[in-house]
Amino acid sequence: MPSFDIVSELDWHEVTNAVDQANREVGTRYDFKGVDASYSIRAKEAVVLEAKAEMQLRQMVDILSQKLVNRGIDLKTIDRGPIVEGNLRATQDIKMKEGIDQAEAKKIVKMIKDSKIKVQAQVQGEQLRVTGKKRDDLQQVMQLLKGADLELPVQFNNFRD
């Protein structure tokens, strides 16, 4: 029986490259001359921004967003945390969302069932498995999800015929 998996994965290598490019740009920009501002990745879950002022952090978020988009990473994966100021420093955590949480998985399953396409969708941890009798039905589900306005980007892998 044909099947495929719906996942939300993040290419951490591309995130690292985007952070490196953003660090280089902050080091060469005129408005950051003499300012100790930097990006760092913490344990493959978040990007930490540090600067002297909140205004600079906002500019750094824009720079990072631009670099992530250039690297093909959807901005739906970022979740900006609060700005914390103290000791003449301002920091902000930007969490990188990966995997499909239960609420979003239920929403996707409901969307598939409401479409009346003859497939079954089941949640398996942080991914969904969609099975059906016809390959065309599975491709219809893929098109449905590509056109849907979801809170996170989804990819399709493990397609079996």
DSSP 131-146: EES-HHHHHHHHHHHH
Q: Give the list of residues 6+ apart from residue 151 with CB closer than 8 angstroms, or none.
A: 76, 104
pLDDT in tens, 8-63: 988 899 999 999 999 999 989 898 888 889 999 988 889 999 999 889 999 999 99
Q: Tell me the domain boundaries of the chain.
A: 3-8+99-160, 12-96
Is there a shared CATH topology between the 3-8+99-160 domain and the 12-96 domain? yes
- Token pair belonging to 104: 């979003």
pLDDT in tens, 76-96: 999 999 999 988 899 999 999
| Residue in the structure block whose two tokens are 């967003």 | 65
How much is the pTM? 0.83
Q: Give the list of residues 6+ apart from residue 40 with CB closer than 8 angstroms, or none.
A: 19, 47, 48, 50
Supply the pLDDT for residue 81.
92
Question: According to the CATH classification, is domain 12-96 in 3.30.70.990?
Answer: yes
Question: According to the CATH classification, is domain 3-8+99-160 in 3.30.70.860?
Answer: yes
